[in-house]
Amino acid sequence: PQPLRRVRPRRFGESGDDYSLETVYTSRGCLGRCGFCANHLVHGRWRARSPENVMQELTALHDPRRRKALYFWDADFLTDIARAERIFDLILEQRLRSFRIVLEARVDDVLRAESILDKMARAGVAAVNLGIETPSDETLRLLGKGTTSDQTRRAVGALKRRGIHPRGYFMLGGPGEAPDDVERFPAFAESI
């Protein structure tokens, strides 16, 4: 069933069924097994709503006269690239143009989805939040992240080339990291 947004409280002058910032979960769970994250324990196996079900919700939220920020709050929106592409195809087909979309994705999944990044930008994706965590490949390995700093560089570059703003989450003080290691974070962030 679709969320019952009309019961949300009034806030900042907006009514419960018409907020200017909307969050939508199109899936729960995560296939990643990062050592620091409990998502797979809290939400269990990864499971997703169909693109058509997601579109029912997006159509109800869409107002062509008003721009809205829309957050796909899935742990990793790009887990199933074909499903994500179908959602973006439907957004474009139905001309849902008033959304400024932000989503969460793994660095390696952005690389797997490179063939649809242009479509994502056309559909209104303005930013992608990435779990970068650290510039240290050794720390990434110890955390069980399953990605590398080179993948991060390539994913950030791929997003930038499409005009999609990459945003990064970093974790300071990983296993074995000393204060000197943490000092590399700002330079790495600026370099990408």
Tell me: the pLDDT tens digits for 70-99? 999 999 999 999 999 999 999 999 999 999
Least Cα distance to 103 among 141, 64, 58, 137 occurs for 58
The helix (run of H) or strand (run of E) holding residue 53 is: helix 51-61
Count Cβ atoms within 10 A of the Cβ of residue 122 and give its class: 0-12 exposed, 13-18 middle, 19 or more buried. middle
Supply φ then ψ for residue 129, to 5 degrees: -85, 125
Q: Report residue 22 as tokens.
A: 């909307």
Cross-sheet strand order for the sheet of 68-72: 21-24, 68-72, 99-105, 125-133, 165-170
At residue 81, the 3 state secondary structure works out as helix
Query: What confidence category does residue 176 fall into, taking pLDDT thresholds of 50, 70 and 90?
Result: confident
Phi, psi angles (nearest 5°) of residue 103:
-140, 165
Both structure tokens of 93: 């087909």
Query: What are residue 130's DSSP bridge partners?
Result: 105, 168
Summarize the confidence of residues 55-78 as an average pLDDT: 94
> Span 38-64, mean pLDDT?
89
| Measured CA distances, 15 to 11, 21, 23, 104 (Å) | 7, 12, 15, 27
**Mean of the per-residue pLDDT values of the chain:** 92
Determine the pLDDT at residue 4.
84
Cα 63 to Cα 2, 20, 38, 59, 121, distances in angstroms:
17, 10, 36, 8, 19
Say if residue 125's pLDDT is above 90: yes
pLDDT tens figures, 126-147:
999 999 999 999 999 999 999 9
Buried/exposed 161-174: b ≥16 CB within 10 Å, e otherwise = ebebebebebbeeb
**Amino acid in the structure at residue 122:** R
Token look-up 């009309």 returns 6
Instruction: Calculate mean pLDDT across residues 16-31.
Output: 87
d(CA 152, CA 124): 22
In angstroms, the CA 142 to CA 138 distance is 6
